[in-house]
Amino acid sequence: MHLNFSKRRIFPSVAAVLGLGLTLTAGVYAYNHWQENQPTAANFDPVVRALWEQHSGGEQGKRLCLSLPSYPAPDVGTKTREPLAWSMDFYTDAPESAPRQEQLRKLDALSQAGLLEKLTLTLNGRPAIRYRLSESGWLKSGPNRNASCFEYGQPHYLGIDQITPHPPGSQAGQSQPFYEVTARIGLDATSAESAWVRNPALLAAFPEIEKNSAGQMFKVQLVRQNKSWVECRHLVRDGQGPCGRAPTVYSRDYKDAYVDATQKDGGRAEYEAMLSRLAALRIRKMEALKAFAPPTVDEIRRLLAEMHGHGKAGQWPGTCLALPGRGNLPVDKSLFEGESDHYAVAIFPSKGRSGWDPVARKTIPYLELLERLGVMQRRAGQDIQLEDGRRQKADIFELTAGYATAVDPKRPDCLPLGVASVDIVDAQLINDDPYDTEGDAFRYKLRIKYANPPEWAKNKDLLGQWDELRGALERGRACQGEFHFDRKTRHTFGGGGSCWWAFDSLDGG
């Protein structure tokens, strides 16, 4: 059988197919282009999400927290605001105003959720309750050391609720249609981080939890410009734009302003070259870091324990109970300066003092307490010489024989408390910036305790009356800070941290 296809029949068919393909491609392109221009939630959603993240910090923005109800002022409170050290005391035999009742209801809710500890005690001969921060509450207090709120999450973009069209001319000065988009931000109900805040007592005492969980509305105005959906206010000049008159003028960032300034002097090329050099340097530093392993949380925990003297005695940050003479317990004259290993301090009885003088308010009562406990002895009316050559009558306080040998040989005002144990409450890596050429960083909270004090510190009579000693052994110290980590040396650099007594100490440090 002989088949004969003429060119007339073949070529028109191919041309028809190609033409149909081009027509379909053009149709698909036109349809996609038409879809992109439609004012739909699908088109608006990525734009609105990006605008919210830009203006508010987005997923890394402000965190939600429950504020500690500090007012009305407690009947008795501590001056320190250090975590684990402060407390709020309320007499239970006192009449309660409506604001006080509301305050106590919130404090009770926080204690039921485990954020506060609630204790009953007798204070100044009256029944009282005390609220103080728990370890769990400290953990939820965020990185700010003096924060008085408990973080339970951060706002998340939850989606678009409504789109309202505004045709041209619906507002003064409006030149083209725009769309007012109402979106919602709020607490992610599935977040494990915020599970604790759903405690029924907290939900009843803090109505803002439900409000933040339900979400809050925010609005943006979008207009189609240069094949993109953009915010109207970014197109405003001198109060006039395609969406009408507006009170604000689009404010560009520092880089744009700098480029404008350098363009006037022909310096844009130099500016761009500088940016390129900085980018290249950043890349080289980041590549150099890859030669060394990043830290692990376990490594950070071991490093923190070593830094804070775990299993050691006599090491920073303070394994001793400080005696008056330095810091927050000043005296009129310290007599143990220099190489002396003999503790002695002088108080001038005839010296005029104001009601705010810390020597009169704190130091003298403390020395007299230690004298009654047999820790100190006083030599009254001693004649001593001052730095300017004058003579002065003074009461000299010294340690009694049983305690004079208990001091640190290098610090006679320090009574060592024994070997320290370090308990890491929280340690987390925070190197979340891919452009941070400083390397890795970590944040921590920990406690230092003294489970095996020396024999003199186990005396029950002392512990019953010496609040500083009892507080130091029961509560220990708290520490918090943030450091950078050197991958090469495997040690810290930069940053800082601090430690304080985890009770209302006279020494305060």
Burial grade of 354 (CB within 10 A; 0-12, 13-18, 19 or more): exposed
Residues 6+ apart with CB under 8 A from 398: 342, 343, 344, 376, 377, 379, 404
- The secondary element (H helix, E strand) that includes residue 160 is strand 156-166
- List the domain range (segments joined by +) for residue 457: 297-316+418-501
Environment class of 116 (CB within 10 Å of its CB; exposed 0-12, middle 13-18, buried 19+): buried
Of 487 and 227, the one with more pLDDT: 487
450 domain residue, yes or no: yes
Q: How far apart are CA 13 and CA 194, in angstroms?
A: 66
> Are the beta carbons of 86 and 80 closer than 8 angstroms?
yes
Place 267 in a pLDDT band, splitting at 50, 70 and 90: low
**Is the same domain home to 236 and 273?**
no
pLDDT attached to residue 314 = 57
**DSSP character at residue 292:** S
Output the pLDDT for position 13. 60
Q: Do 53 and 196 share a structural domain?
A: yes
pLDDT digits (tens, 9 = 90+) for 136-187: 999 998 887 776 889 888 788 888 888 888 887 666 555 678 888 998 888 7
- Are 48 and 220 in contact by the 8 Å Cβ rule? The answer is yes
The per-residue pLDDT for 251 is 34
Average pLDDT over residues 89-101: 92
Same domain, 74 and 92: yes
Which DSSP helix (H) or strand (E) runs through 33? helix 7-36
Neighbours of 391 (CB within 10 A): 9
Does 301 share its domain with 243? no
Q: Which of 340, 336, 363, 343 is nearest to 351 (CA)?
A: 363
Residue 181 lies in a domain: yes
pTM: 0.74
Question: What pLDDT is recorded for position 279?
Answer: 74
Residues 305, 379, single domain; the answer is no
Chain centroid to CA 500: 17
Q: How many domains does the chain have?
A: 5
Does 330 have pLDDT greater than 60?
yes
In 3D space, the residue among 319, 330, 407, 338 whose CA is nearest the CA of residue 367 turns out to be: 330
Would you state the pLDDT for residue 296? 92
CB 114 within 8 A of CB 136: yes
| Of the candidates 423, 428, 426, 425, the residue with the CA atom closest to the CA atom of residue 442 | 428
The total of other beta-carbon atoms located within 10 Å of residue 424's CB is 18
Note whether 268 and 310 are same-domain residues. Answer: no
CB 65 within 8 A of CB 151: yes
Residue 472 to residue 84: CA distance in whole angstroms = 12
Q: What is the mean pLDDT of residues 14-41?
A: 59
CB 381 within 8 A of CB 393: yes
Work out the average pLDDT over 265-280. 72
Q: Is residue 119 part of a domain?
A: yes
Last residue of a domain, one of 373, 396, 415: 415
Q: Work out the average pLDDT over 63-67.
A: 86
Winning range, highest mean pLDDT, from 38-52, 244-258, 433-447: 38-52
